[in-house]
Structure 1
Amino acid sequence: MKGYSIDKMPEKHARAQVKETDISLKDAVNVAHFIRNMDLEAAKNALNLVVEKKMAVPYFRYLDSVSHRKGIGPGRYPVKAVKSFQKLLDDVSANAEFKGLTDDLKIFHISASKGRMIKKFTPKAYGRAGANFKDLINLDIVVIENEKE
């Protein structure tokens, strides 16, 4: 299982990855924290509301100058990051369908981590150069079937 941030996989699971996507790490960490432990359909609906800017993602980390939103505290609408997470959720639901898992799925594990760094340089006056580095982000998710009660 090279490349996953979880060691022990549950018996019946589906997983997916998005590697080296160009989104903000700060937004990705907060969106991952927002949808962690949600049902898959609830997470998809919540992310659709964020894209429509009807619901904000509550920020729990990187709170410097983050405005408060009504009812949730500090939060933002990270639409670009949410679109990458929507692709991730679509991929994992297709993988679960292929494995024959039910529609009642729960997010068991989700993470956002740094990928590789793209290093660029901008020429400046007097023969100098300014660094322009860009971090790419890796996303991975594992879903399991909800227990029947």
Structure 2
Amino acid sequence: MAKLKYKVEADPKNTARAMGRTLRISRKHAIELCRELSGMKLDSAVAYLNRVIALETPVPFKVHNKDLPHRKGKIGTHSGRFPQKASLEILQVLDNAKKNAEQKGLNTEKLRIKHISSNRGFTIKRYMPRAFGRASPKNQETIHIQVILEEFY
């Protein structure tokens, strides 16, 4: 497997980072969640993801929004969804980054998300047997999530 580097260079003294690799979640959901979480404080990001998992707050879809209904709440005029599976996976990556920050001795109350992004992973190739000895592809796409937390003052 190829070595995956972080997209953003960060000062290791006041930042902590984590990476989730080969996560089996939707790339579109991950892109929209990462866009929404970028720049948030860590505590508010975790609370936001927990509200999305509980189907209380929708995630506005600004790019991948064809034939999506609008949702209740103050998300503006954008349509939205509740990507629960992607929220759970990103919540685990944020928890790992928080634990890395604790290990470095950073103040976990003053952490914000400096960088979060999703990259395309490899495709798991499978086949579904069909009639008359044929087969159809049934591929599973994976993604990688990068998170860099920064201590702010």
TM-score by structure 1 length?
0.93
For residue 88 of structure 2, what is the amino acid of its counterpart? K
Q: 1:40-80, CA deviations, whole angstroms, 9 ceiling, x for partnerless residues?
A: 01100111111111111111111111111132121110000
How many angstroms apart in 2 are the aligned matches of 1:82 and 1:52? Answer: 10
More strand per residue: 1
Residue 93, structure 1, aligned to residue 98, structure 2: yes
DSSP-derived class of the 2:29 partner: helix
Q: 1:14-41, CA deviations, whole angstroms, 9 ceiling, x for partnerless residues?
A: 0001111111001011011111100001
Indicate the residue corresponding to 2:10 in structure 1.
9
Q: Conserved in 1, the CA contact under 8 Å of 2:61 and 2:79?
A: yes
Q: Conserved in 2, the CA contact under 8 Å of 1:4 and 1:140?
A: no
DSSP-derived class of the 1:68 partner: coil
Structure 1 segment 1-149 matched on structure 2, within 5 A: 2-11=3-12, 12-70=14-72, 71-72=74-75, 73-103=78-108, 104-146=110-152, 148=153
Kindly report the root-mean-square deviation, in angstroms, between the aligned alpha carbons of the 2 structures.
Answer: 1.2
For residue 109 of structure 1, what is the amino acid of its counterpart? H
**Which deviates the most, 94-103 or 8-17?**
8-17
Consecutive aligned runs of 4 or more in structure 1 exceeding 6 Å deviation? none
**Count of residue correspondences:** 146
Q: Conserved in 1, the CA contact under 8 Å of 2:8 and 2:115?
A: no
For residue 57 of structure 1, what is the amino acid of its counterpart? V
**Consecutive unaligned residues in structure 2, runs of 5 or more:** none
DSSP-derived class of the 1:53 partner: coil
For residue 58 of structure 1, what is the amino acid of its counterpart? P
How many angstroms apart in 2 are the aligned matches of 1:17 and 1:113? Answer: 11
Q: 1:79-102, CA deviations, whole angstroms, 9 ceiling, x for partnerless residues?
A: 000000110111000000000111
How many angstroms apart in 2 are the aligned matches of 1:46 and 1:61? Answer: 20
